[in-house]
Amino acid sequence: MNKLFTLNIDTYLEIYELAIKNGKVAGQNMQEEFNTIMKQKPDKFKYLGTIEQDKEMLKGNLRENGIYKILDLTKKD
């Protein structure tokens, strides 16, 4: 099961900056930094629920239902 959350761009940038500070580079998992910031600032995260689908399946299902503006920060062009 995968958990779904929403957060604002400022919180995401905080996670990103912590990951860079910890020596991570583009494409590496930032779960540890996500968890750290979520513990420090739980009010910045809104829990949406759990889902059995992986990220690609979820994005495909959202597009099938008319949601086309999906920001995937892991996608490399």
> Mean pLDDT of successive 10-residue segments in the chain (77 residues)?
89 95 91 96 93 88 85 63
pLDDT at 32: 95
Q: What's the angle, vertex CA 10, arms to CA 4 and CA 15, rounded to 5?
A: 65
**Tokens coding 49:** 């629920």
pLDDT for 73 equals 64
What pLDDT is attached to residue 76?
Answer: 59
pLDDT, residue 1, reads 84
Give the separation between CA 38 and CA 31, rounded to whole angstroms.
10
In the chain, where the domains are located: 2-52
- Decide: 34 and 15 in contact? Cβ < 8 Å: yes
